[in-house]
Amino acid sequence: MAWTAKLIKHKGENRIAVYFEKNTVLITRIKQVEDAKWSQQKTVWHIPDTIENRERFKIEPLSHSFPSKEGIEHITKFIQWLSSKRYSPSTIKTYSEALKSFLIFYREKQIAEITNEDVVIYNNEYILKNNLSASYQNQIVNALKLFFKTIQDKQIIIGTIHRPKRAKVLPNVLSKEEVKLILNAHSNTKHKMMLSLIYSCGLRCGELLALQPVHIDSKRNIVLLKNSKGKKDRIVPLSSKILEMLRDYYKVYKPKTWLFEGQTIGIQYDARSLQLILKQALQKAGITKPATLHWLRHSYATHLLESGTDLRYIQELLGHNSSKTTEIYTHVSTKSIQQIKSPFDDL
């Protein structure tokens, strides 16, 4: 059972790629490594680039791949501060990794001596030179601004740092016919139930998996979403058809802790398994679009808009802070566009 490992850059992040011939024992072992992921594009398993993982997979540590001792201490302080302020685990990871990348770049410099100009240089000499994404560039800027303000008590003037112009990407939307094909593709009650609930309530993947049986209020016909994105609770209406499906689901699975549990009782259903369920549904339905679970949420919002629901209500249902976020659905709604007659028809 031989394997090889090497350092790679994946989505702007340092990772360790682990190569081996397909083997169930090794796959089980690699899955046990925290934050181990499968890259469909690179067709390889990859794990975080940490000192522990380098030792585990016999990769020699490179002095320039880690911050200085002072840098590591400051990253630890930053993580502790973020945790005390109850930032989400994903934000803590994103910000600390962004800071780590910056402090590796300036590992030979005292942190107290780092200036605003150094941040500009890092932006140009590292982020832009390595063609890293605009979103990664924004994450770096946000993380550094917060780090220097809280841990270093030093102001970073963001105006002098080039923030990338945000790309105006329209949300991907499926037609009602396509959604129906996807939701009817699975005969498995649990699989069908999960996909149907995401679309019918416009849920994020994490919101669905965090649902508990007590969050379904059948008397008021609502679903209570606890601690959603931004630590905000909200309620969404529960379709009468969905309620009937849920009752059938209860009879078969009798969920305990979580509404949707994995094979082990009391363990939350795995997000990657849920993505696979959608992928299988797309194949069965003969839909070749590269749809993700979030497409179902986008489709929910767009279909509500096309049926005449006020944008302000859609904003509440989706849990958006700003109406500008919700307004993007007006650009993909075809209700008004389809009524426009092409001048070609008059030729």
Catalytic residues: 204, 229, 294, 297, 320, 329
Q: How far apart are CA 188 and CA 165, in angstroms?
A: 44
Nearest one of 197, 176, 172 to 277, comparing CA atoms:
197
Q: How far apart are CA 79 and CA 86, in angstroms?
A: 10
Tell how strand 222-228 and strand 37-39 pair up: unpaired
CB contact at 8 A, 14 and 49: yes
Sign of the torsion formed by the C-alpha atoms of 205, 295, 197 and 316: positive
Q: How many CB atoms lie within 10 A of CB 335?
A: 13
User: What's the DSSP call for residue 61?
Assistant: P
Which residue blocks in 61-165 are alpha helix, DSSP H?
Answer: 69-84, 89-105, 116-122, 134-150
3-class SS at 193?
Answer: helix
CB contact at 8 A, 36 and 47: yes
Nearest one of 71, 82, 95, 104 to 143, comparing CA atoms:
95
CB contact at 8 A, 233 and 225: yes
Q: How far apart are CA 30 and CA 45, in angstroms?
A: 8
User: What's the DSSP call for residue 210?
Assistant: T
